[in-house]
Amino acid sequence: MLKPVGLSMVLLVAATTLPAQSLPPDSLFDRLIGNCGLFGFDWKNRFAEFGILIGEKDAWGHGYGTDAARLILRFGFDELNLNRVWLRVYDFNPRAGRAYKKAGYVQEGIYRQALYREGAYHDIHVMSVLRDEWQAQRSG
Ligand SMILES: CC(C)(COP(=O)(O)OP(=O)(O)OC[C@H]1O[C@@H](n2cnc3c(N)ncnc32)[C@H](O)[C@@H]1OP(=O)(O)O)[C@@H](O)C(=O)NCCC(=O)NCCS
């Protein structure tokens, strides 16, 4: 069930959509593990940007990020009537890129060497999902 907090979603709630057997023995249901949401709304062109942070490292790799990304897409397209949801991911974050791909995001471009961190330049990958793709994915 989606539980709006402003225009953000509590990731913990996203986790409740996973089947019980996929949960770790010590269920994460009783604590906040991170947050995610949409921002940068352009209502004329009907797009917004997605962001997510699971701060609790022991919660990584259980599928919560993918699940939350899917939930937010559903919320963005079905409830907010957006046409495009996009995101930025750094090239040194393959875990995030993989989770987004599983959720349905496709890469649409690269901001080359757009980030300077710890003495090196890094690319920022731009990914997005269009409304048509989302609907095709759901019916396919
Ligand atoms: C990025 C993040 C949202 C992903 O959520 P998550 O719950 O850990 O991810 P999921 O378990 O849904 O999926 C991760 C996938 O990446 C894969 N993966 C993990 N490490 C990987 C690596 N080094 N290279 C490639 N794939 C990797 C996993 O195997 C899994 O794919 P699979 O299901 O096909 O096996 C979460 O880890 C997070 O918040 N990290 C810290 C903050 C951050 O990076 N935010 C995103 C900024 S763009």
Q: pTM of the prediction?
A: 0.86
pLDDT at 10: 43
Domain boundary assignment for the chain:
6-139
pLDDT at 140: 78
> Is 55 near ligand 1, meaning CB less than 6 Å away?
no
pLDDT at 28: 56
Residue 77 burial by Cβ neighbours in a 10 Å radius (0-12, 13-18, 19+): buried
What average pLDDT score do residues 109-131 get? Answer: 98
How many residues does the structure list for the chain?
140
Q: How confident is the model at residue 23 (pLDDT cuts 50, 70, 90)?
A: low
Non-local (6+) Cβ contacts of 2 within 8 A are 9, 13, 71, 74, 75, 79
Query: Strand locations in the chain, DSSP E?
Result: 4-5, 8-10, 34-42, 47-54, 84-90, 106-117, 120-130
Which residue has 């003495």 as its token pair?
119
> Is 98 near ligand 1, meaning CB less than 6 Å away?
yes
Report the percentage of the chain scoring pLDDT > 90.
Answer: 74
pLDDT at 31: 81
Q: What distance in Å separates the CA atoms of residue 46 and residue 28, rounded to the nearest whole number?
A: 34
pLDDT at 55: 95
Atom of ligand 1 nearest to the CA of 64: 7
Q: Identify which of 67, 52, 64 has the alpha carbon closest to the alpha carbon of residue 103.
A: 67
Atom of ligand 1 nearest to the CA of 96: 1
**Fold for domain 6-139?**
Aminopeptidase (3.40.630)
Question: Which tokens go with 107?
Answer: 């890469």
Q: How confident is the model at residue 139 (pLDDT cuts 50, 70, 90)?
A: confident
The answer on pLDDT for 27 being more than 90 is no
pLDDT tens figures, 28-51: 567 899 999 999 999 999 999 999
